[in-house]
């Protein structure tokens, strides 16, 4: 079979077989080999690789089949040279939370899977005076296709300006929109915090405390604002007296909770701006011989691993970091495909576990 069809004088399978037999794994195929094998010109192959519409469907399929069978992969270096940019996307981060970074990384990798791109990472230290220049050098040297910025560097306008200057594509991930839509992915922390407030209010608490995130971080503001909004919707208010500043670390959670516990008429529920601090809160409760949720309900934010390794396991707001990374990568790669983007899929959700319950009757 498969010798002389009128419409397809070419038998991809046979042709590919032939090549594999003669050259085998000795040499990697180039675009020239494919062109010769398929009996078309180099340019046609190139068009097919780059999804140009100027190719007949039949030809496209035949050539694609051969490419697949022979195992041809266009050389990223050569392509990069011709395109004047590398097939690399960068992730620029300064967030010290390893779990955040790893989740985000994984999400971005999912997002670029199947796109010829690779992920290259670039941590940066915002306390160093030249972190923007370093980032620029990184981008320009490698001629990155684009970068994804995570909080809190994503909130940095100096960095954003530099990116616009270089002309490199970018997507900023932040809890609030700081740029035009194509360059932003919003995490809706405010919404998440509102869920926490609703949950706590529904349980019947009225004396409610909040441990804020680190000063100067957008997410800290948003989480507090969302929490206050949610309480307000339930007719409650967060008294300034019950707002204690934290900095997203475990230790700050411990200290803040100690402060809250020392108050007269202490709160019966508290919302910490992240799980780390919520874990610190549990710790402080334990030291004070109190138990969550019997004495005080505790709600966190992030739903990182720590939320389930502490005991009791933490009621928290799940933030879909990995999905957000994936979406950010997709937005970076094809900014037009965002039509079918259903933002609601990326909203934080409430995860009720064991640290929240009704207030103690007293």
**Which one among 8, 32, 237, 309 touches its own copies, defined by CB under 8 A?**
309
Asked if 132 and 139 count as a contact pair (C-beta separation under 8 A), the reply is: no
The token pair at 222 is 């948003």
Q: What Å distances lie between residue 289 and 113, 215, 261, 295, CA to CA?
A: 50, 30, 11, 10
Q: Is 144 in the site for DNA (CB under 7 A)?
A: no
CB atoms within 10 A of CB 89: 27
The token pair at 257 is 């909770």
Shortest spacing between CB 79 and DNA, in angstroms: 4
- Burial class, 262, CB count within 10 angstroms (exposed 0-12 / middle 13-18 / buried 19+): exposed
Task: Say whether 85 sits in a helix, a strand or coil.
Answer: coil
Shortest spacing between CB 141 and its own copies, in angstroms: 5
Q: From its own copies, DNA, none, which one binds at residue 298 (CB under 5 to 8 Å depending on kind)?
A: none
- CA distance linking residue 11 with residue 255, whole number of Å: 73
Q: From its own copies, DNA, none, which one binds at residue 50 (CB under 5 to 8 Å depending on kind)?
A: DNA
Site string for its own copies, 220-259 (x = CB under 8 A): ------------------------------xx--------
Q: From DNA, its own copies, none, which one binds at residue 286 (CB under 5 to 8 Å depending on kind)?
A: its own copies
Q: Which is nearer to its own copies, 76 or 358 (CB)?
A: 76
Q: Is 352 in the site for its own copies (CB under 8 A)?
A: no
Q: Which of residues 62-121 bind DNA (CB under 7 A)?
A: 72-75, 77-79, 81-84
Site stretch for its own copies (CB under 8 A), options 9-17, 208-216, 259-267, 280-288: 280-288
- CA distance linking residue 29 with residue 77, whole number of Å: 15
Q: What Å distances lie between residue 295 and 13, 23, 93, 230, CA to CA?
A: 72, 74, 38, 22
Q: Which is nearer to its own copies, 230 or 300 (CB)?
A: 300
Q: What are phi and psi of 94, to 5 degrees?
A: -140, 0
**Which one among 39, 76, 335, 358 touches its own copies, defined by CB under 8 A?**
76
Cβ contacts of 95-100, under 8 Å, gap ≥ 24? 95/150, 95/151, 95/152, 97/248, 97/276, 97/304, 99/304, 99/305, 99/306, 100/150, 100/302, 100/304, 100/321
Q: Is 333 in the site for DNA (CB under 7 A)?
A: no
Q: Is 56 in the site for DNA (CB under 7 A)?
A: yes
Shortest spacing between CB 46 and DNA, in angstroms: 3
The token pair at 164 is 């616009």
Q: Which is nearer to its own copies, 91 or 238 (CB)?
A: 91
Angle at 118 between CA 122 and CA 32, to 5 degrees: 140
Nearest to 262 by CA among 296, 288, 283: 288
3-state secondary structure 181-201: HHHEEECCHHHHHHHHHHHHH
Q: Which of residues 43-72 bind its own copies (CB under 8 A)?
A: none
Q: Is 276 in the site for its own copies (CB under 8 A)?
A: yes
**Which one among 14, 102, 182, 233 touches its own copies, defined by CB under 8 A?**
102
Give Rg (Cα) of the chain: 27
Site stretch for its own copies (CB under 8 A), options 8-16, 96-104, 145-153, 320-328: 96-104
Q: From its own copies, DNA, none, which one binds at residue 49 (CB under 5 to 8 Å depending on kind)?
A: DNA
Q: Which is nearer to its own copies, 168 or 201 (CB)?
A: 168
| Strand positions, DSSP E, 275-338 | 297-299, 316-318
Site stretch for its own copies (CB under 8 A), options 42-50, 101-109, 196-204, 262-270: 101-109
Angle at 188 between CA 187 and CA 192, to 5 degrees: 115
Residues near DNA (CB under 7 A) are 28, 30-32, 39-46, 49-50, 53-56, 58-60, 72-75, 77-79, 81-84
Residues near its own copies (CB under 8 A) are 28, 73, 75-78, 80-81, 86, 88, 98-99, 101-103, 105-106, 109, 118-121, 123, 137-138, 140-143, 250-251, 276, 279-280, 283, 286-287, 305, 309, 311
């Amino acid at each position: 079979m498969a010798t002389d069809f009128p419409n397809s004088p070419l038998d991809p399978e046979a042709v590919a077989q032939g090549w594999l037999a003669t050259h085998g794994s000795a040499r990697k195929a180039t675009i020239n080999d494919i062109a010769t094998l398929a009996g078309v010109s180099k340019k046609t192959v190139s068009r097919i690789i780059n999804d140009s519409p100027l190719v007949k469907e039949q030809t496209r399929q035949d050539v694609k089949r051969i490419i697949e069978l022979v195992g041809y992969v266009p050389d990223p270096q050569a392509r990069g040279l011709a395109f004047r940019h590398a097939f690399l996307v960068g992730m620029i981060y300064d967030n010290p939370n390893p779990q955040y970074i790893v989740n985000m990384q994984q999400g971005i990798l999912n997002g670029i899977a199947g796109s010829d791109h690779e992920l290259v990472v670039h941590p940066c230290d915002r306390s160093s005076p030249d972190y923007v220049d370093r980032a620029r050098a990184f981008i320009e040297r490698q001629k990155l296709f684009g970068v994804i910025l995570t909080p809190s560097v994503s909130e940095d306008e100096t960095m954003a300006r530099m990116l616009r200057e270089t002309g490199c594509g970018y997507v900023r991930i932040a809890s609030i929109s700081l740029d035009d839509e194509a360059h932003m992915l919003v995490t809706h922390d405010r919404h998440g915090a509102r869920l926490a407030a609703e949950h706590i209010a529904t349980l019947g608490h009225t004396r409610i405390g909040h441990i804020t995130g680190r000063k100067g971080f957008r997410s800290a503001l948003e989480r507090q604002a969302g929490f206050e909004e949610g309480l307000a919707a339930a007719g409650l208010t967060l008294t300034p007296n019950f707002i204690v500043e934290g900095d997203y670390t475990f230790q700050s959670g411990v200290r803040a909770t100690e402060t809250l516990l020392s108050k007269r008429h202490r709160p019966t529920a508290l919302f910490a701006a992240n799980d780390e601090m919520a874990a610190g809160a549990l710790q402080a409760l334990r030291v004070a011989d109190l138990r969550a949720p019997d004495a005080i309900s505790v709600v966190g934010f992030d739903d990182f691993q720590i939320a389930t390794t502490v005991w009791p396991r933490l009621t928290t707001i799940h933030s879909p970091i990995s999905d957000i990374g994936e979406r950010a990568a997709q937005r970076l790669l094809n900014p037009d495909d965002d039509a079918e983007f259903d933002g609601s899929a990326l909203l934080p959700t409430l995860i009720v576990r064991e640290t929240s319950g009704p207030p103690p009757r007293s």
